[in-house]
Amino acid sequence: MSDTPVLVAVGHGSRGARHEETIGRLVDAVRRTRPGLRVETGWLDLVRPALGEVLAGLDSPAVLVPLLLGTGYHVRVDIPAVIAATPGVPARVARALGPHPLLADALCDRLTEAGRAPGDAVVLAAAGSTDPGAEAATVRMARLLARRLDAPVVPSYLCAGSPTPAEAVAGLRRRGHARVAVARYLLAPGFFGDRAAAAGGCVTAPPLGAHASVARLVLRRYDDAAAEATAAVPPAGRCVSR
């Protein structure tokens, strides 16, 4: 049994093969960034192996890094429930990926790849969530991207929130922005990504995918959670008063 926790990347899962392939490339990028670290992938829905199967097959402690851009129901409820149903291996859940300046770097690069010109306003198209905290996190991410680009960035939601990307694009044009780019605040292609492309922007950036900054962020979330786990263990021969 190794003392170094296994990094378990937790994917949401989707019926589209493009989603699984893109997440696979991201996980491969994480492995290349830190050779020697054991990295596994477990899925919450629709794709195998399921997270519970991965945890049951481990013989070392694990840090679960949600490949999710915001803290919502999956991070607060679903992942802890899988851990509780799979006793035997110590596991700790890292923070969701967003918001973070490294994501702003990746979004900026994706917008440039798509053809955004300097000064173009931007709509940040997020999946959306009924969790108020997730919506607030998207707003913070929009502010980070606005500072990175030195341009207006409006958060929008593809479900369970307002405005929609199309409404946000129209609103910016009413404010005098002739050119509006749409940034897909999504990790991988799929249904939401297709909806973002129909929002009416001059250009629509691809999802974040296996961008190097995203891979670095996955490892940063892993490192932070692993350090917290180590700090929580008292030195041998000592006890922690309660």
Q: What's the pLDDT tens digit per position in 68-99?
A: 998 878 888 899 999 999 888 899 999 999 99
**Residue 78 three-state SS:** helix
**Residue 95 three-state SS:** coil
Q: Is the pLDDT at 232 greater than 80, yes or no?
A: no
pLDDT band with cut points at 50, 70 and 90 for residue 234: very low
DSSP 10-40: EE---SSHHHHHHHHHHHHHHHHHSTT--EE
Residue 115 maps to a domain: yes
Backbone angles phi, psi at 73, to 5 degrees: -60, -40
What residue ranges in 120-208 does DSSP mark as E strands? 121-126, 153-157, 180-185, 203-204
Determine the residue type at 204.
Answer: T
CATH number at 158 reads 3.40.50.1400
CA distances from 10 to 76, 89, 100 (A): 13, 16, 18
Q: Is 50 in the same domain as 13?
A: yes
Q: Is 120 in the same domain as 57?
A: no
Q: Is 153 in the same domain as 89?
A: no
At 161-182, the pLDDT tens digits run 899 999 999 999 999 999 999 9
Worst-scoring range by mean pLDDT, 11-25, 102-116, 139-153? Answer: 11-25
At 41-54, the pLDDT tens digits run 999 988 899 999 99
Q: Is the pLDDT at 135 greater than 90, yes or no?
A: no
The number of distinct structural domains making up the chain is: 2
Give the model's pLDDT for residue 205. 97
Q: Is 108 in the same domain as 93?
A: no
Q: Is 106 in the same domain as 200?
A: yes
CB 30 within 8 A of CB 210: no
Give the model's pLDDT for residue 241. 32
Mean pLDDT of 12-35: 91
Side-by-side strand order, sheet with 39-43? 39-43, 6-11, 62-66, 91-93
Residue 51 belongs to domain spanning: 6-97+211-232
